[in-house]
C-alpha cells in the first residue's frame, strides 16, 4: 500500500545515520556520508567509497580509516541520538556497497522493495545528511531510468531526479511504500559520459544489485579484500574503484 511523502519521511528518518570515516594521519581524507539500518540489531548499509578511501596518488589502493563513527538517532526507540564506533563487516567496491555494524538492539530499520517494479516517471524519495548537519535532507523526485548500464559500468543502476548534495552518498532511495529500492552513489556533472541521462540526475545502486550482496555480507561477516582493479572515473564527481571482491 502506497503512503504519502510525509509518512515515508516519518517511517524512514530514524533509520538513516551519519557515517564519518576518520583518518588520523591526514584529516583531508576524512569523509562524511549517510547510511541506513537494514536490521534492528545495527547492520547499516552505506557506500564503499564512504568507508574505504581510494586515491591514485597513494599506491592505487584503498586506505582503511582509523575509525568509522556513526551518529544514530532515536536510538533503540528511546528518543536520543548517540555516536558509535562502527565495525566494518564487508565491502564490495565494484558495486560501491559496504556494510557496517553498531551495537543497538531495537533500532528502526528499512525493508527492501523491488527496484525493477518502479517504472520511469514514478515518484521516489531520497533521505540523507549533508556534511555535518544533524538534520536529514528529504527530497521527492522521479525515477528517470530503472535499468541503466554500459559496457564500462555493467551494473544495473538507477537514475533519479532527486537533488543530491555532498554527504548524501549512502542514503536510501525509497519507493512510495517507504521501502529501499536503491542507494545514492554519485551525482552527475554535465558531460558527454552520461549523454543518455538527463542532467543533474543522481546515480544509485539498485536494490536488484545490492540486496543479495548485503545479505551475504551480513550472513558471512566478510571483511577481507580478495583483489581489486582501480579505475578512476574522472567524469563523475567522485572516484570509484572496480573491481574489489569480497573473500
pLDDT tens string 194-241:
555 555 578 899 999 999 999 999 998 765 443 333 333 333 333 333
Report the pLDDT averaged over residues 140-158.
83
pLDDT band of residue 98 (cuts 50, 70, 90) is very high
pLDDT recorded at residue 135:
66
Query: How many residues in the chain?
Result: 247
- The confidence score (pLDDT) of residue 167 equals 83
At residue 191, does pLDDT exceed 80? no
- Tell me the three cell numbers of residue 9: 519521511
What span, in angstroms and rounded, lies between the C-alpha atoms of 155 and 210?
A: 10
At 43-95, the pLDDT tens digits run 999 999 888 865 433 444 567 888 999 999 999 999 999 999 999 999 888 88
Mean of per-residue pLDDT scores for the chain: 81
Give the pairing of strands 43-46 and 97-101. Answer: antiparallel
Q: Say whether pLDDT at 243 is over 70.
A: no
Q: Which of 30-34, 75-79, 154-158, 187-191 has the lowest mean pLDDT?
A: 187-191
Provide the pairing of β-strand 67-72 with 61-63.
unpaired
Q: What is the pLDDT of residue 23?
A: 87
* Average pLDDT for 102-116: 97
- Rounded to 5 degrees, φ, ψ at 29 are -85, -10
**Range of lowest pLDDT (56-65, 126-135, 178-187):** 56-65
Residue 61 in grid coordinates: 589502493
Q: Which residues have C-beta within 8 Å of that of residue 165, sequence separation ≥ 6? A: 128, 130, 137
Amino acid at each position: 500500500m502506497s503512503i504519502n511523502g510525509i509518512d515515508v519521511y516519518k517511517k524512514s528518518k530514524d533509520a538513516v545515520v551519519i557515517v564519518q570515516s576518520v583518518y588520523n594521519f591526514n584529516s583531508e581524507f576524512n569523509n562524511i556520508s549517510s547510511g541506513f539500518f537494514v536490521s534492528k540489531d545495527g547492520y547499516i548499509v552505506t557506500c564503499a567509497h564512504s568507508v574505504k578511501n581510494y586515491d591514485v596518488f597513494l599506491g592505487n589502493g584503498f586506505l582503511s580509516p582509523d575509525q568509522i563513527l556513526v551518529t544514530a538517532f532515536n536510538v533503540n526507540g528511546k528518543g536520543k541520538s548517540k555516536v558509535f564506533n562502527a565495525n566494518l563487516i564487508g565491502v564490495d567496491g565494484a558495486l560501491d556497497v559496504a556494510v557496517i555494524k553498531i551495537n543497538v538492539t531495537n533500532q528502526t530499520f528499512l525493508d527492501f522493495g523491488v527496484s525493477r517494479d518502479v517504472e520511469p516517471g514514478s515518484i521516489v524519495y531520497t533521505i540523507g545528511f549533508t556534511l555535518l548537519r544533524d538534520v536529514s535532507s528529504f527530497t521527492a523526485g522521479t525515477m528517470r531510468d530503472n535499468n541503466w548500464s554500459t559496457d564500462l559500468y555493467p551494473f544495473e543502476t538507477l537514475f533519479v531526479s532527486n537533488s543530491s548534495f555532498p554527504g548524501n552518498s549512502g542514503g536510501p532511495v525509497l519507493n512510495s511504500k517507504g521501502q529501499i529500492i536503491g542507494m545514492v552513489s554519485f551525482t552527475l556533472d554535465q558531460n558527454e559520459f552520461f549523454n543518455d541521462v538527463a542532467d543533474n540526475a543522481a546515480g544509485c545502486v539498485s536494490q536488484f544489485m545490492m540486496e543479495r550482496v548485503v545479505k551475504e555480507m551480513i550472513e558471512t561477516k566478510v571483511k577481507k579484500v580478495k583483489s581489486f582493479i582501480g579505475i578512476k572515473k574522472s567524469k563523475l564527481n567522485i572516484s570509484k574503484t572496480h573491481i574489489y571482491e569480497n573473500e
